[in-house]
């Protein structure tokens, strides 16, 4: 059984640290003017990085490309659903909803990978 190294521990904790850091930074009015977003919107990119690295660590090959293809398929389904429901596509609403869905799906995959990593190690 291999022990956990510091790099992997940092990758496991990086999304948690980043969401709290972004939440803290977005409290300042100057930052709110520059970036009118929420902390979860910024954390998605960190989650993508963590998923790529953890999957490479666990399976010795990154399945990040498959994850991106799955997210694109979810985006197409969401686009079709919104078009059917509203009769039109409101792009601002679509991209906001899609980005938040990316956060939820990425968080779920990230948690599964972290749990698998701790079980394996």
Express each pLDDT in 9-20 by its tens digit. Answer: 888 889 999 989
CA distance 58 to 10: 15
- Please compute the mean of the pLDDT values over residues 90-94 and round it to a whole number: 90
Give first-to-last CA distance, the chain, whole Å.
6
Pairs from 34-41 (Cβ < 8 Å, separation ≥ 24): 40/100, 40/103, 41/99, 41/100, 41/103
pLDDT in tens, 27-76: 877 777 777 788 888 899 999 999 999 999 889 888 999 999 999 999 99
Task: State residue 24's pLDDT score.
Answer: 87
Instruction: Report yes or no: 52 and 64 within 8 Å, Cβ to Cβ.
Output: yes
Task: State residue 4's pLDDT score.
Answer: 63
State the burial class of residue 78 (Cβ atoms within 10 Å of its Cβ: 0-12, 13-18, 19+): middle
Confidence of residue 2 (pLDDT cuts 50, 70, 90): low
Task: State residue 104's pLDDT score.
Answer: 95
Task: State residue 42's pLDDT score.
Answer: 87
Task: State residue 1's pLDDT score.
Answer: 42
Q: Does the structure show a pLDDT above 80 at 90? A: yes
Q: Does the structure show a pLDDT above 70 at 3? A: no
DSSP 38: -
């Amino acid at each position: 059984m291999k022990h956990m190294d510091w790099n992997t521990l940092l990758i496991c904790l990086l999304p948690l640290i980043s969401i709290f850091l972004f939440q803290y930074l977005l409290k300042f009015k100057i930052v709110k003017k520059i970036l009118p977003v929420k902390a979860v919107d910024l954390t998605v990119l960190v989650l993508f990085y963590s998923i790529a690295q953890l999957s490479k660590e666990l399976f010795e090959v990154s399945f990040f490309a498959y994850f991106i293809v799955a997210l694109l398929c979810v985006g197409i389904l969401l686009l079709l659903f919104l078009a059917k429901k509203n009769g039109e596509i409101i792009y601002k609403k679509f991209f906001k909803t899609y980005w938040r869905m990316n956060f939820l799906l990425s968080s779920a995959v990230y948690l599964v990978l972290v749990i698998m990593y701790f079980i394996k190690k």
